[in-house]
Structure formats: C-alpha cells, structure tokens
Chains A and B, each alone.
Chain A
Amino acid sequence: MSRETPDEPLGAAEQHWRKHWQKTLREPDALPGQGLADKDAAWDKLFARLNARSRRSLRLPGGLVSGFRITGGGLGPFSAYRIAVACILVTLIPVSRLFHDRPGAVRPAAATEFRVTPPLRSPATLTVTTSVAPATAASGGPKGRKRNPVTDRAGSIGVKAFPTAPVAAPPAPIAPPAAIPAPPANILAESMPPAPVAPPKPAAKKQWKVVDINELEPRYTRPPMVADRRPGLLRLGIGLGDPGFPESSQAREDRRLKIDLSTQNH
C-alpha cells in the first residue's frame, strides 16, 4: 500500500492564484511574443511531411496500405509483398504442371534413351516389336484390331519413337582382292575420259516408327495385373452385380463398361 499522502486540499487563496495563472496562460492570445516566428516556413515543413506520408500511402479497396503496411488488417510490414508473391506462386504452379504433363513434352530421360537406342533395320523387326509384350503374346492377348504403330500410343507404356534409315539390301559378299595390273601412265592421262560425276543420292527418307519398351529393354516384363489388358482400352466396372452371388469372369467382363481410348477410328 502506498504511504504517499493524498494531495492536500488547496486553500481558497491558493486556488485563486492558480486559476488566475491557468486562465492567463490558457488564453489563445495570452503570449503574442511567443508564437511562431515564421509560420509559413513551419507550415511548409509540416505540409511536406504530410505529403510524404500521403505519397507513401496507397489506397486499395480492402483497406489502407500505407508504407507497405496494411493498417486495417493488423498485418505486419511487407505483407503486401508477401501476398503478391503468394498470388504469383499460386498462379504459376498449376501452369507449370500443365506444361510439364503435356504428352508432347520431351523429357531429359527420354532424350537420353533416344541417343543410345539402336535403330531398326528390317520391317520384320518392326512387326515383332510393335506387338505387345511377350507376356501378352504368351497368354493369347487381344487380337481383334490391327494396331496403328504410330497413332496407337496410348496403351504402349514406355514406347519410344525415333527415325530409322530405309531398309537396305544385304551387303554383297566381298571378293578377295586380286592382283590388278596397273595401266600405263599415258593411258591414264590421255585416253581415259573423265569419270562421270555420280548424281547425288537422294537423301534417305526418315520414317518414324513406334517400338515397344521391350525392345529397348528386353528384360522388362509388364506387371501381371496389366499383362492381359489390351492397351488403349479402359475398363470401368459400374457395380451392377450382386456381391454375394458368384459369377463367372466372362459375365463380369461382359458387364463392364468399356471405353476405347485409342485414337483410331472404327
């Protein structure tokens, strides 16, 4: 508890002179000599400060952002910067994902495999390699539709496309070198017509072919759950069967809603 004594009550005379002093000094024109010497200069300083503050202030619909500080929301300084950065990130992340997952996008890993993969040499090889995986062939996979090796890419996982050279004839056996007599020097110089310039060979027409990943990686086998599936066909079960009633796999297969996702027209 405070031991301070309360303010003693003032006497009437004391109150009188105090009130006189208060009244005298509180008068607006009590001290004319104590005013500002240069009021205009003082106002200019004050006006510059007020203007500097108003320039730093930015009115936004949500509140007053002054000096990079949102005064209405009670947020800390540089909150406007943080909000702007967050908005930019929120906008850019979906866009970057959209471009990243685009089907035609070239990925660095695919480009590496493209360089090391040997080109195909014969159409027979092409026929073999465009078929589905060996596991599919062994289990008697779907045979109904003839696949387009270029457009039917959806079902073949890991398929790579790359240009190959045209099919060339098998090389002729090379005869052992025989001893050819050298012609005389005068014949070579005078009687021999100039050798015709061979016309330039037409540039090899490059073709795009689709190969399965099994060709690139022979040890690769498709997972057993997708080994018997036909590529490009999405199967959806709509749940019409009775869960307690056993049914054959064929009936279950027939009840499935089948959507062909291949790009080939039928």
Chain B
Amino acid sequence: MNIPEQIQDARCGSAAAQKALFDHLADPMMALCCRYLKSREDAEEVLLDGFYKFFFHLKEFRYQGEAALYAWLKKIMVNECLMFLRRRHAFSVVSDKTVEDLPLNVEPLAGLSAAEIFELIVQLPVGYRTVFNLHVIEGMEHREIARLLGITEGTSKSQLSKARLLLQKLLLQKGINYVKRNTR
C-alpha cells in the first residue's frame, strides 16, 4: 500500500493505515525533535504530540506528493518543539550585542556526514541551537524566527552569531581546523 492510500485510509480511521504512516515517518521526525530538544524522553513526548495533531488534522490535508507530506509534518513537529521549549522556558536570555561573525571554511563543512552535523548541533545550548536550526537547517529568515520565538530580530542574529562561534570552538576541539580567518 502506498502513501496516498495509507493517508486515505487513515482519514477514515483505519488503525492499520495510521500505524503504517507512523512507522514510515516516525524515525526522521524523531531525529528532527532530537535536534531541538536535549533529552530523548522530551523528544518522544513531543513526537507523540505532533503525530496526534497530524492524525487529527489529516482530513484537512491535501496530498500533493511525499515532499509536501514531509514538509507539513515537519512544520507540525517544529511548532510542537517550539511550544515545548516555550512551556519549559528553555530559551536563555542573551544580550543583543552582536558577536563578531567568523566565516567558516566551507569545504570541510560540506564534507561532514549527517551524524557529525547532528553531533555538533546537539552540543549547542538550547537558545543557540533553536535559532541555528531554524535559520540554517529550516531556512527561515530572522524576522520569522523573531516572530516565532517572541524575540527581536537582533536577538535572533546575535544567537546565530554566538552559535557559529561556539560551533567553531567545537570543531577546533575536535582537532580539525575548519575555521579560516578572514584576512582583511
């Protein structure tokens, strides 16, 4: 049974179709939740909340391909993660002072595997990590991030700069110099 049929059956309340969709989509969504949240227990809780909303609103979803399904479910999960962080007051308060932005040597970065990227991101603090995820991975603008998190655009940029700085330090700790100083 392919995904459109599973979605159609899940809309009608078929438990088998819902389980098939859950099995198919749970692992990538769990990885996404783990990028935003520290503990796996929290990530699993948020994942179940997200899938609960997914199945509840599945009747309103218009299937236009697997990419659209992924994008929609990912949006649900990101929103759930942000709501969870907001409930826990997990965002650290930082000043708007802009940190010096260090350009990265992109060639080694482009060669990192998914596991290495994931390991680097997970080591960032919650505030940095959230902004970094939203801006770099999800591709959101600072204005949108500021609206979602209830912060100013300057704070969002500051968080991103600090995240990059910390990322460089983490890379240096690994013994690999991925940082290239800008020679002005």
Taken together as a complex, chains A and B put the C-alpha atoms of A24 and B116 apart, in Å, by 10
Task: Tally chain A residues at the interface, Cβ within 8 Å.
Answer: 35
Q: Are A25 and B117 in contact (CB under 8 A)?
A: yes
Find chain B residues with CB under 8 A from A43 CB: 19, 22-23
Q: Are B142 and A7 in contact (CB under 8 A)?
A: yes
| Stretch of A34-42, A98-106, A115-123 with 4 or more beta carbons under 8 angstroms from chain B | A34-42
A20 at the interface (CB under 8 A from B): yes
Binary contact readout B99-127 vs A (1 if CB under 8 angstroms, 0 otherwise): 00001101101101111011000000000
B18 at the interface (CB under 8 A from A): yes
Check A49/B52 contact, CB under 8 A, given A18-B136, A27-B114, A33-B115: yes
Q: Are A42 and B114 in contact (CB under 8 A)?
A: no
**A-B contacts at CB below 8 angstroms, number:** 104
**Chain B: minimal CB distance from A34 (Å):** 4
**Chain B: minimal CB distance from A25 (Å):** 6
Classify chain B: how many residues form its interface, as a range.
35 or more
Partner of B22, one of A24, A37, A46: A46
Find chain A residues with CB under 8 A from B154 CB: 4
Q: Are A31 and B114 in contact (CB under 8 A)?
A: yes
Taken together as a complex, chains A and B put the C-alpha atoms of A34 and B26 apart, in Å, by 10
Q: Are B27 and A28 in contact (CB under 8 A)?
A: yes
Taken together as a complex, chains A and B put the C-alpha atoms of A2 and B15 apart, in Å, by 51
Q: Are A35 and B27 in contact (CB under 8 A)?
A: yes
**Chain A: minimal CB distance from B48 (Å):** 5
**Chain A: minimal CB distance from B148 (Å):** 15
Q: Are B34 and A34 in contact (CB under 8 A)?
A: yes
Find chain A residues with CB under 8 A from B113 CB: 24
Q: Are B136 and A21 in contact (CB under 8 A)?
A: yes
Partner of A42, one of B48, B70, B142, B153: B48
| Stretch of A9-17, A74-82, A199-207 with 4 or more beta carbons under 8 angstroms from chain B | A9-17
Q: Are A16 and B106 in contact (CB under 8 A)?
A: yes
A125 at the interface (CB under 8 A from B): no
A147 at the interface (CB under 8 A from B): no
B77 at the interface (CB under 8 A from A): no
**Residue of chain A at shortest CB distance from B136:** A18
Q: Are A50 and B18 in contact (CB under 8 A)?
A: yes
**Residue of chain A at shortest CB distance from B55:** A50
Taken together as a complex, chains A and B put the C-alpha atoms of A29 and B24 apart, in Å, by 11
A255 at the interface (CB under 8 A from B): no
The 4 closest A-B pairs by CB, nearest first: A35-B27, A30-B114, A34-B31, A31-B31
- With A21-B112, A24-B112, A50-B52 given, name 16 new contacts (CB 8 A): A16-B106, A17-B106, A21-B109, A25-B137, A28-B27, A29-B28, A30-B28, A31-B28, A31-B115, A34-B31, A35-B27, A36-B44, A39-B26, A42-B44, A53-B56, A54-B13
